[in-house]
Amino acid sequence: MSSRREEILKELGLWPVWRLRTAAASPAEPAAPPQPPAAARVAQSAPAPVKPAGARAPVEPAPALPLDARAAEIMRMDWPQLKASVAGCTACPLHQGRNKTVFGVGDEQAEWLFVGEGPGADEDAKGEPFVGQAGKLLDNMLAAIGLKRGENVYIGNMVKCRPPGNRNPEPLEVSQCEPYLHRQIALIKPRLIVALGKVAAVNLLRREATIASLRGKVLEYQGIPLIITYHPAYLLRSLPDKAKAWEDLCFAAETMKNLQSAQAAPI
Ligand code: URA
């Protein structure tokens, strides 16, 4: 093991306990069939419309779109439209307390997509995901498997505005915000998604489950392999589970290798 890697593992409090898994990645487990929209998935006010450069602000606010129509509109957006729409979004009450929206960061053609829950205070101040203590741990976790923020890696969240007091986002907040993440995923087309924590996991899978029951499997989000692990903020409070997170990361790295070689293999 290189000394850099050893240093990272020591930093994570994982040396010399963590071991690389060598078993082959499990076959993909299909996600549960899409479920009907939850009661909370109701129409709210539409996000601020995307203004063409130089256009004057509309006098009347845009009429609220039903959620499905709004989601369909978001699914047609390109990156600049999507960023502008998130920046001006007022679709749920979280916009009232935010300083900055936190769109997501990284390589827009990344093979790796990491999805967290929602911004905390540091992220709300900076407008970038995972820049606080949990972010430092995430960066170390990435480094431990040879990855770096922004280099073939994209990092996003289920919701783009900070829930007050760092509470979990409410179902209505997630339902209003998730079309943005779905569009980001459609544009990035990652080879593998890693969900960080339960909020991202259950919302991407569209079913309730514990992290413990979802770990160690290749699940699926709309045909894209999906692996679940603990949220870095949880790991900061629960040192014993860092070892499990390391297993999950090694499993994800191995799954990525398999996915890359499956694509490279001649037909
Ligand atoms: N926790 C998250 O889930 N996302 C962030 O961006 C920061 C902390």
* pLDDT at residue 80 in the model: 98
Instruction: Kindly give, in sequence order, each residue whose CB lies less than 8 Å from that of residue 145, ignoring residues fewer than 6 positions away.
Output: 249, 250, 252, 253
Q: What is the distance in A from the centroid of ligand 1 to the CA of 156?
A: 8
Q: Which of 70, 68, 78 is nearest to 49 (CA)?
A: 70
How many whole angstroms separate alpha carbon 195 and alpha carbon 157? 9
* pLDDT at residue 49 in the model: 39
Read off the pTM: 0.81
* pLDDT at residue 1 in the model: 53
Least confident of 56-65, 74-83, 157-166, 190-199: 56-65
List the beta bridge partners of residue 225. Answer: 220
Task: Please state the domain extents for the chain.
Answer: 69-262
| Residue type at position 105 | V
Is the domain spanning 69-262 CATH 3.40.470.10? The answer is yes
Contact 89, 160 (CB under 8 A): yes
How many whole angstroms separate alpha carbon 132 and alpha carbon 126? 10
Instruction: Kindly give, in sequence order, each residue whose CB lies less than 8 Å from that of residue 152, ignoring residues fewer than 6 positions away.
Output: 107, 110, 111, 112
How many whole angstroms separate alpha carbon 194 and alpha carbon 252? 8
Q: Dump the DSSP string for 188-251.
A: H--SEEEEESHHHHHHHHTS---HHHHTTSBEEETTEEEEEE--HHHHHH-THHHHHHHHHHHH
* pLDDT at residue 9 in the model: 60
Mutate to test the pocket of ligand 1, among 202, 231, 234 (most ligand atoms within 8 A of CB): 231
The average pLDDT across 97-111 equals 98
Look over the chain and give the mean of its residue pLDDT values, rounded to a whole number.
Answer: 84
Q: Is the CB of 119 under 6 A from ligand 1?
A: yes
How many whole angstroms separate alpha carbon 256 and alpha carbon 265? 14
Fill in the DSSP letter of residue 177: H
| Atom 6, ligand 1: residue with shortest CA distance | 129
Q: Which of 189, 183, 181 is nearest to 111 (CA)?
A: 189
* pLDDT at residue 67 in the model: 76
| Atom 7, ligand 1: residue with shortest CA distance | 130
Q: What is the distance in A from the centroid of ligand 1 to the CA of 34?
A: 26
Mutate to test the pocket of ligand 1, among 130, 142, 228 (most ligand atoms within 8 A of CB): 130
